[in-house]
Amino acid sequence: MPTRRAVIYARISVAQEASVSIDRQREAAEQYAAARGWQVVGTFTDDGVSASHNKPVDRAGWRELLASPLQFEAVIIWKLDRLARRVLDFHLANEALRGRGAGLVAVENSLDLTTGDGRFVANVLASFAEYEADAISARVAAARTHLLTAGRVVGGTVPYGWQSVRNPDGPGLVLAHNPDRIDYVRGMAERVRRGNSIYSVVQWLDEVGAPTPTGRGGWAYNSVERILRHPILAGMTPFNPGNTTKERGTNVLRDSDGLPVVVESVAILPVADWRALVAKLDDNDSAQSKPRALRSKTSALLSGLLWCGEHGADGVRMHRCTVNGRPGYTCPECSQSISNFEPLVVEEFLRQKGERVRWTRVEKVYEGGAALLPEIEHRLDELDQLIRQVTDREQRRELQEQQSTLLDLRDAKREEAPIVSLRYEDAGWFEDDWASAGEDVEQQRAVLDDAMERIWVRRGGTGRRTPAQVLARLTFDWKVPEDLGPIDADQQAADFQGV
């Protein structure tokens, strides 16, 4: 009787697991073959490859085995779970071997799948292996969720500006502000929130010598944007269960009502402010916020402030352009244009507002029903989109149940009396802040934004115009405080008289 030829297949997910190492699997398979007088003609391995996330056909070692010119009648594996943890994957792999006249032999399971009895028992064991893999995955996910909900660190890269510290309330580690870096994150957020571009933030970080995330080189545009988009700024934890990609995604850890779990001691911004910051980053994905805009022939100083007054109360926003080679603005509908006027706008701004206090609007929502309403509304919008997208009926039902719970919660919170305070804080004098901005267009624009809402432009006569004639075409909508707040009423009235 001819000697049976066999090859060995070994796989491992984590190389550090010595108990099931590649060498140990190979040694067991060789002993099994020697005891039966079989000839081992080859060995194929997949090191550091998960069976739960990689089908046999997707593994380099298994594909090499199937494509090998070697002649063999058996493939020796240590256990069935070395080949697959899903019943379907196991069947497909076994059928591929049978197609070339070979069968599986599992050492630890004492199974020879070249026989009918062996194939029957193997099917049962493969089903149990799949059940075990699913159970392990569920236990690991539940344990991770429990730790995250408790505010514990479960591994991964610690966000820039934070650090892992011993949990003062129990075992493990928790996140806390890194005192050497958190102020740089605050500075990034404050600058973007007041209208500065990410490019100008990069310049500021390099100028002040802020350490980079890697500790090497200078700051990059993408690094700043990635930091600002991280939900940890609002005390939230990224959480995408079932996500198999390396992308963080946009979802966060949520409570039983579907609302974000917020650790206030970790946050540097309220959730609503962080979402507004992310929305601003989305809006600033235009050319105006990129380095190209700062180098363009037209100025970004008044971009977004100029509106054509020839179209009724709503007006039409004017766009930057060049007029006879000069920087200017034009209406996209009626083609009205204006140029060489920015110095006049600045002069008028300083004349009317220079010696007045630059108030910064601050809105505070204190504890009460109103505190949760913005997040409830945000989650309801997300659920609307998810319900329209999912095709699985069970998943849709679960989302609809969560939506119904949140609608009830929203009604209850609306009945609670909100405590909202709108006030203005003294940020300095307009003329002093304008002087401090120097030639930095981003900082100049931030000062103007606190003074004016819009500038309306109307048509003028033809030919050369005097400065007075140019100004006659412009109507300024100055910003006026809507609430006296903690400011002395007489002082505020004096500061904003004549607007």
Label the pairing between strands 452-457 and 306-308: parallel
Residue found under tokens 């009317």: 352
Q: Which residues contact 404 (CB under 8 A, 6 or more apart)?
A: none
Distance CA 130, CA 83 (A): 12
- Which of these ranges, 23-37, 265-279, 297-311, has the smallest mean pLDDT? 297-311
The yes-or-no verdict on residue 4 having pLDDT over 80 is yes
pLDDT tens sequence across 285-309: 543 444 444 344 456 788 888 999 9
Distance CA 157, CA 428 (A): 40
Q: How many CB atoms lie within 10 A of CB 46?
A: 24
The yes-or-no verdict on residue 273 having pLDDT over 80 is yes
Identify whether the C-beta of residue 21 lies closer than 8 Å to the C-beta of residue 11: no
Q: Which residue has the higher pLDDT, 386 or 86?
A: 386
- Which of these ranges, 131-135, 369-373, 476-480, 483-487, has the smallest mean pLDDT? 483-487
Question: In this prediction, what percent of the chain has a pLDDT beyond 70?
Answer: 73
Q: List the beta strands (DSSP E) in 182-331.
A: 306-308, 316-317, 319-323, 326-330
pLDDT at 497: 43
Dihedral in degrees, nearest 10, Cα atoms 153, 157, 160, 163? 40
Identify whether the C-beta of residue 67 lies closer than 8 Å to the C-beta of residue 99: no
Distance CA 476, CA 21 (A): 76
CA-wise closest residue to 309 among 318, 301, 300: 318
pLDDT at 486: 40
Distance CA 241, CA 238 (A): 10
Strands in 319-323's sheet, in edge-to-edge order, are 319-323, 326-330, 337-339
Task: Tell me which architecture the domain covering 5-144 has in CATH.
Answer: 3-Layer(aba) Sandwich (3.40)
The yes-or-no verdict on residue 390 having pLDDT over 80 is yes
Residue 85 structure tokens: 């943890």
Q: How many CB atoms lie within 10 A of CB 116?
A: 8
pLDDT at 3: 81
Distance CA 443, CA 468 (A): 27
The values of phi and psi at residue 123, to 5°, are -60, -40
Identify whether the C-beta of residue 318 lies closer than 8 Å to the C-beta of residue 307: yes
* Per-residue CA distances from 371 to 250, 264, 274, 375, 467 (Å): 22, 13, 14, 8, 50
- Kindly state the average pLDDT of the residues 424-433: 71
Q: Which residues contact 94 (CB under 8 A, 6 or more apart)?
A: 103, 104, 113, 119, 122
pLDDT at 111: 74
Q: Which residue has the higher pLDDT, 9 or 301?
A: 9
Q: Look over the chain and give the mean of its residue pLDDT values, rounded to a whole number.
A: 77
For 406, the enclosing helix (H) or strand (E) is helix 393-415
Q: How many CB atoms lie within 10 A of CB 430?
A: 22
pLDDT at 350: 92
- Kindly state the average pLDDT of the residues 275-280: 84
Tally the C-alpha atoms within 13 A of residue 336's C-alpha that lie toward its C-beta. 20
The yes-or-no verdict on residue 490 having pLDDT over 50 is no
369 pLDDT tier (thresholds 50, 70, 90): low
Identify whether the C-beta of residue 52 lies closer than 8 Å to the C-beta of residue 19: no
- Kindly state the average pLDDT of the residues 449-472: 84
pLDDT at 41: 94
pLDDT at 250: 59
Identify whether the C-beta of residue 302 lies closer than 8 Å to the C-beta of residue 345: yes
Q: Which residue has the higher pLDDT, 172 or 241?
A: 172
Q: Which residues contact 382 (CB under 8 A, 6 or more apart)?
A: none
pLDDT at 68: 92
- 3-class secondary structure, 423: strand
Residue found under tokens 């998810």: 386
Dihedral in degrees, nearest 10, Cα atoms 306, 311, 313, 315? -30
Residue found under tokens 């405080």: 481
The yes-or-no verdict on residue 481 having pLDDT over 60 is no
Identify whether the C-beta of residue 359 lies closer than 8 Å to the C-beta of residue 481: yes
Identify whether the C-beta of residue 29 lies closer than 8 Å to the C-beta of residue 50: no
Identify whether the C-beta of residue 19 lies closer than 8 Å to the C-beta of residue 85: no
pLDDT tens sequence across 159-178: 899 888 887 766 677 778 89
CA-wise closest residue to 252 among 235, 237, 233, 264: 237
pLDDT at 245: 40
Distance CA 357, CA 33 (A): 89
DSSP 237-279: -B--TT--SS---S-B-B-TTSPBP--TTT-SS-HHHHHHHHH
pLDDT at 348: 92
215: DSSP letter: S
Most confident of 51-65, 237-251, 407-421: 51-65
The values of phi and psi at residue 139, to 5°, are -65, -40
Most confident of 147-151, 318-322, 375-379: 318-322
- 3-class secondary structure, 481: coil
CATH number of 151-291: 3.90.1750.20
Q: How many CB atoms lie within 10 A of CB 435?
A: 12
Region of residue 242 (phi > 0: left; psi between -120 and 50: alpha; otherwise: beta)? left
The yes-or-no verdict on residue 360 having pLDDT over 50 is yes
Domain ranges within the chain, ordered by starting residue: 5-144, 151-291, 296-361+420-499, 367-418
pLDDT at 420: 55
Residue found under tokens 């500075």: 187
Q: Which residue has the higher pLDDT, 495 or 45?
A: 45
Q: Which amino acid is at 137?
A: S
pLDDT at 495: 43
pLDDT at 496: 41
The yes-or-no verdict on residue 482 having pLDDT over 80 is no
- Kindly state the average pLDDT of the residues 373-395: 83
The yes-or-no verdict on residue 67 having pLDDT over 60 is yes
Most confident of 150-164, 328-342, 359-373, 436-450: 328-342
Q: Which residue has the higher pLDDT, 370 or 183?
A: 183
Residue 43, exposed/middle/buried by CB under 10 A (0-12, 13-18, 19+)?
Answer: middle
